[in-house]
Amino acid sequence: MATRTRSEHPPVRRGDRIFSATALGAGILILLILAGVAIFLLVQGVPGITAGRGSLSGRDSFWAYVGPFAFGTVYASIIALVVAVPIAVGIALFISHYAPRRVALALGYIVDLLAAVPSVVFGVWGITVLSPALVPIMQWLEDNAGFLPFFEGPTLTSGRNMFTAGLVLAVMILPIITAICREVFLQTPRLHEEAALALGATRWEMIRMTVFPYGRSGIVSASMLGLGRALGETLAVALVLSGSAIYTFNTLAAENSGTIAANIALQFPEASGTAVNVLIATGLILFVITFAVNYTARKIVDRRSEFSGAN
């Protein structure tokens, strides 16, 4: 009978056991860290949500206080995404399907290098180089596209406005989106590409028929990772933008909506008492926004999984 018991529980090798324990441990650790952060934000943040006027820079309620910053955060990130995604997809496509091997390799390294630049460097670069350089462009936009609420102006002469902040963020999230898109595009099955070419597709038609549909979920995931980075980016925005607690779509004027992360970084050193809780509560809101973004992305990716090519 002993043999039977043994056959019901097949022997587990030591290497397997160590590996599965390590993997399980890592998985649990991630959950614990996440839970720890969430609990911290809740415990420290809830008093902030119910705080009175004194700790809210003169606002009536916490929601009135956090609203403009939440708006500014999302707005800046969307600007960054709108600018960065088409460029990133273009670069990735060039690297994966157009460039000669050597050029592709070099370009890939340069893009990866961009990811290694610290965000404070981007912030300083945004102040000293990018914003003055952008002023003529902003002026042009104000003159020629001023009927759009985004370019109403008047253009801030220093150029340190939402427009510049969005572009700095775009440059910052470009590498991650490019790198992921490139990997996804390279994985398009050769068989599908050849099927398209054999039907008489040009290279661009082949890309539209096979590479983009196959890489669709990858592009969405890459964009969301980029968006996540843009939402949480603190230093570059804090340096470039002097945000205030207002709602505005105008990207060119002196008055701009601040972002949650930059606001925390700027206010925290001088905050005390409930004001600290208020700032932590805004962090909680940022956490919720980021979570919602990732969740939506997951939903988008899953929706057509039947057609994804993974099966």
Partner 1 sequence: MAKSIDVSDLNIYYGDFLAVEGVTIPIAAKSVTAFIGPSGCGKSSFLRSLNRMHEVIPGARVEGKIIIDGNDLYGAGTDPVAVRREIGMVFQRPNPFPTMSIYENVIAGMRLNAKRMKKSEADDAVEKSLRSANLWAEVEDRLRRPGSSLSGGQQQRLCIARAIAVEPQVLLMDEPCSALDPISTSAIEDLIHDLQHDYTIVIVTHNMQQAARVSETTAFFNLSAVGEPGRLVEYGSTTKIFSNPDNESTEAYISGRFG
Residue selected from 16, 60, 143, 205 as contacting partner 1 according to rule CB under 8 A: 205
Q: Alpha carbon of 203 to those of 90, 95, 192, 216: distances in Å? A: 14, 14, 13, 18
290/77 Cα distance (integer angstroms): 11
Residue selected from 1, 31, 116, 191 as contacting partner 1 according to rule CB under 8 A: 191
Q: Interface with partner 1 includes 153 (CB under 8 A)? A: no
Q: Interface with partner 1 includes 189 (CB under 8 A)? A: yes
Q: Interface with partner 1 includes 298 (CB under 8 A)? A: no
Q: Interface with partner 1 includes 31 (CB under 8 A)? A: no
Where are the alpha helices (H) located in 187-273, listed in sequence order?
190-198, 203-206, 212-232, 235-240, 260-267
The span of 66-74, 177-185, 197-205, 227-235 binding partner 1 (CB under 8 A) equals 197-205
230/274 Cα distance (integer angstroms): 28
Residue selected from 83, 125, 216, 276 as contacting partner 1 according to rule CB under 8 A: 216
Task: Look up residue 256 and give its DSSP letter.
Answer: E
Q: Interface with partner 1 includes 200 (CB under 8 A)? A: yes
Using the minimum distance from each CB to partner 1, give the nearer residue, 107 or 201.
201
Structure tokens at 180: 């992921």
175/195 Cα distance (integer angstroms): 31
Annotate each residue in 41-70 with x if it binds partner 1 (CB under 8 A) or - if it does not, as one string. ------------------------------
Residue selected from 47, 146, 213, 232 as contacting partner 1 according to rule CB under 8 A: 213
Residue selected from 33, 199, 288, 292 as contacting partner 1 according to rule CB under 8 A: 199
Residue 240: name the closest of 146, 149, 122 by CA: 122
125/133 Cα distance (integer angstroms): 11
Length of the chain: 311
Question: By CB under 8 A, what part of segment 68-127 binds partner 1?
Answer: none
Q: Interface with partner 1 includes 307 (CB under 8 A)? A: yes
Residue selected from 47, 112, 146, 192 as contacting partner 1 according to rule CB under 8 A: 192
Burial state string for 162-190 with b = 16 or more CB within 10 A and e = fewer than 16? bbbbbbbbbbbbbbbbbbbbbebbeebee
Residue selected from 197, 220, 254, 265 as contacting partner 1 according to rule CB under 8 A: 197
Using CB under 8 A, list all residues that contact partner 1: 189, 191-202, 205, 209-210, 213-214, 216, 304, 306-309, 311
